[in-house]
A and B are shown apart, each in its own frame.
Chain A
Amino acid sequence: MISGRVWKFGDNINTDLMLPGAFLFASEAEQMRVVFSANRPGWVDAVRPGDIIIGGTNFGTGSNRPAIRSFRNLGIAAIIAESISSLFFRDCVNYGMIALECPGIAAAFAEGDTARVSLDDFTVRNARSDVTLAAVPVPDRLLSVMRGGGVFPLLEAEGVLSPPRQATAATDSSPAPVR
């Protein structure tokens, strides 16, 4: 069970809003400071570890950018939306972010509500209103990657990727949560 405070976002939230082009090659610390700076300045100061993002349709439309890393670094526990761009969804799988598509979610939650997410039966409950919605189940094979730290361990096991070297692992992005 994942339980967290809800932040609401609308339809078509794109990757340029999550990670502006000017910060594409900035450090992870800089990137996490500019999330939603164009559409919701100050949000990164208000968000707390364990919070949950609820979006509308077409969440994550746009580029292949490591935007999901910034959400992870901010401590976001899950992203739930009416629908999620499949490119963005792949990033969620690869970077170990719980991401669910859940029709009706936008109308069922107000900002500040508490969402309780079960990955056992793929339901999302609003703790205030007690409304429970069915999310689209994530197939086992993807869920295990999503919950197991992404693809790097798989590639290490296949012998195509070396294990991490200690010296750089501390400063570079790793699939495990940074915080």
Chain B
Amino acid sequence: MGSTILEKILGRASGSATVSPGEIIIVDIDCTILLDVSFHFIQHGLGGREILRVADPKKIAVIFDHGVPAPDASTAAMHIAGREFVKRFGIEHFHDVGYDHGISHVVVADKAYALPGSVLLGGDSHTCSAGAFNCAARAVSSPDILHAMTTGKTWFRVSETVRYDLEGTLRPGVSMKDVFLHIAGTFGHHVNQCLEFGGPGIAALSINARRTLTTMCAELSADFAIFEADQRLLDYVHQRNAAPFTPVQPDPNAHYEDRRTLHLDRIEPLVGLPDAVVNNSAPVTQVAGTPIHQAFVGSCANGTLDDLKIAANAVAGKRIPAGVRFIVTPGSQEIWRQAMAEGYVQKLVEAGAVVTNATCGACFGGHMGVLGPGETCITASTRNFKGRMGHPSARIYMASPATVAASALAGRIALPDAFTNGGAS
């Protein structure tokens, strides 16, 4: 019996050729990501204990993202604790508020900290984002992060893998966010399962598009989500990180719990209906016309340069109507600068959008676009749980950046122009 990508990576990291579902394994961690909120735990969650040493400062990155710049004094205190930690333990990969900050998963992509074939841990649930890099990446709980950075190790319970084979190409106006909503709506949660993506359809997908999908797999409660490695990925990583790595492919006779084909050309624009992600998707046409107060494009899933381009071109030369707030949050300051150079920021701002600095911000209801009682929002971010973006009575529809931008312009939920004009079949 052959092995899946994850079985091979986790095997190597645990000192054996491969591992099997059901096993509890101890693995060596190649990279551990700490966020600003990690320092709230380190400050207040250790019961008066103190960290005495870390296993290897080169394998730790500290990235401030949830509250940047600090919206309140307690976040500012977290940042101070983070800076002291970085200094004390000699952490070189430090992304403080400023030139190189961003949402951790986006910075991990910008810098290619996630190497193909490696193991990466993070304290934020969307750490599986880095699975787009053929990297075994997942979120763990805060005490696990503490364990990983001080000992260099963690435990996993190996799960069965579901294989998704992608075929065909997306229609105009349709993106990987819609593909995710299709998976979540059709197959529901993936608790205690790993997801593996491959097939002929991945070749045409940008790294950003792949990342949108792997990031969203946190919403399926999957253990890991991982892509096969191809030349596009290897080129991307080589351009950003000089460290050596060994990509991993599945065996042809790997065992999968299930194997499913996704026909990309059959997928239409979808929305996640309010209050829950899984088993809750519907065609945009079903809710088209619903009035909105806010539209948001951002987060680790949809704050890429491609997403900003889609949003900017959708609103270029037009004006967001009164009564609608269109908030756009680039995933990192690097993307912000690129969007400025490409003219996207100008198009957005002239149309009346508010472009914020890179932060997790509105996605988690933290700051920069929190919803009030009874408001309706359509969002290209990660989750639409009840209360997620602010008041629990707010209604949150989740969709692609193209659908969100079209809705911002219309003041009500609307199909993307590109789909209406070019995608009819």
Contact = CB atoms under 8 A, between A and B. Distances in A.
B221 A87 contact: yes
A108 interface: no
B200 interface: no
B140 A161 contact: no
Contacts of A37: 392
Contacts of A86: 157, 159, 191-192, 221, 223
A85 B366 contact: no
A159 B52 contact: yes
A16 B385 contact: yes
B191 A66 contact: no
B185 to A, nearest CB: 13
Given A21-B388, A141-B24, A94 B144 contact: yes
Contact of B51 (A85, A94, A160): A160
B372 interface: no
Interface stretch (A45-53, A109-117, A162-170): A162-170
A64 to B, nearest CB: 5
Contacts of A62: 125, 383, 385
Nearest to B72: A25
A9 to B, nearest CB: 13
Contacts of A127: none
B52 A87 contact: no
Contact of A172 (B44, B53, B144, B366): B44
Interface string B330-353: 000000000000000000000000
Contacts of B277: 12, 61
B191 A84 contact: yes
Interface in B275-313: 276-279
Nearest to A95: B143
A159 B53 CA distance: 8
B365 interface: yes
A118 interface: no
Chain B interface category by residue count: 35 or more
Contacts of B53: 159-160
A16 B386 contact: yes
A168 to B, nearest CB: 4
Contact of B146 (A63, A151, A169): A151
A171 B155 CA distance: 30
A130 interface: no
A21 B44 CA distance: 17
B12 to A, nearest CB: 21
B385 A87 contact: no
A87 B218 CA distance: 10
A61 B219 contact: yes
Interface in A16-72: 16-17, 20-22, 24-25, 37-39, 57-58, 60-64, 66
Contacts of B159: 86
B141 A91 contact: yes
B387 A58 contact: no
B279 to A, nearest CB: 8
Interface in B251-293: 276-279
Contact of A66 (B41, B50, B75): B41
A149 to B, nearest CB: 10
Nearest to B219: A61
A36 B141 CA distance: 21
Contact of B151 (A39, A158, A164): A158
Interface string A81-112: 00111110011001100000100000000000
B248 to A, nearest CB: 21
Interface in A124-179: 139, 141-142, 150-152, 154-156, 158-169, 172-175
B221 A58 contact: yes
A87 B141 contact: yes
A150 B46 CA distance: 11
Nearest to A142: B24
A91 B47 CA distance: 16
Given A84-B191, A141-B24, A162-B52, A174 B47 contact: yes
Contacts of A3: none
Interface string B118-154: 0000011100000000000011111110110011000
A21 B365 contact: yes
A63 B159 CA distance: 20
Contacts of A150: 143
18 contacts: A20-B387, A20-B392, A25-B74, A38-B387, A63-B124, A63-B364, A64-B139, A86-B157, A86-B159, A94-B144, A141-B155, A142-B155, A160-B51, A160-B52, A161-B52, A165-B49, A172-B46, A172-B47
Interface of B: 24, 37, 40-41, 44-55, 74-75, 78, 123-125, 138-144, 146-147, 150-151, 155, 157, 159, 188-189, 191-192, 219, 221, 223, 276-279, 364-366, 383, 385-388, 390, 392
Interface of A: 12, 14, 16-17, 20-22, 24-25, 37-39, 57-58, 60-64, 66, 83-87, 90-91, 94-95, 101, 139, 141-142, 150-152, 154-156, 158-169, 172-175
Given A57-B191, A85-B221, 10 more contacts: A22-B365, A38-B387, A60-B221, A94-B141, A94-B143, A151-B147, A160-B150, A161-B150, A164-B49, A166-B48
